[in-house]
């Protein structure tokens, strides 16, 4: 044996802190992905609900427009006027606001 002393390598300490750090990063990443996925799913449900509501509102608008068109039809207006006791005018006339005279369509007054 030679007289060279053998020294031990002391740089190889415990790997526990490194392992704990790696596990912590992995668990944190998984939790983040889970939360992100949950948030995206909630957003997708909300978007679906809003689309359904939009379709319902469009249908309601179409129904109201049809009802308005039916109410504005000349036959319907004539029937409503008759119910109120109105009669058809025998002559068409114009009122002059400047002097208060009434002029009929035939030109006479």
Tally of domains within the chain: 1
Q: Is residue 95 part of a domain?
A: yes
Confidence of residue 34 (pLDDT cuts 50, 70, 90): very high
Residue 109 belongs to some domain of the structure? no
Strand pairing category for 102-104 and 93-95? antiparallel
- 54 near 62, Cβ under 8 Å? no
Nearest to 92 by CA among 78, 106, 74: 106
In a domain, 64, yes or no: yes
Residue 33 within a domain: yes
For the chain, the average pLDDT equals: 88
DSSP labels for 76-99? Answer: HHHHHHHHTT----SS-EEE-TTT
- Model confidence at 11, pLDDT cuts 50, 70, 90, reads low
Whether residue 9 is contained in a domain is answered as no
Q: Where are the beta strands (DSSP E) in 1-109?
A: 93-95, 102-104
pLDDT higher than 90, residue 93: no
Q: pLDDT value at position 23?
A: 97
Determine, yes or no, domain membership for 75. Answer: yes
């Amino acid at each position: 044996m030679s007289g060279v002393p053998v020294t031990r390598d002391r740089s190889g300490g415990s790997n526990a802190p490194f392992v704990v750090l790696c596990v912590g990063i992995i668990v944190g990443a998984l939790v983040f992905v889970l939360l992100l996925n949950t948030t995206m799913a909630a957003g997708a449900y909300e978007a679906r609900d809003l689309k359904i509501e939009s379709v319902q509102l469009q249908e309601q608008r179409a129904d109201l427009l049809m009802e308005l068109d039916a109410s504005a039809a000349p036959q319907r207006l004539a029937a409503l006027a008759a119910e109120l006791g109105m009669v058809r005018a025998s002559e068409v006339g114009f009122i002059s606001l400047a002097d208060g005279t009434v002029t009929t369509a035939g030109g006479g007054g």
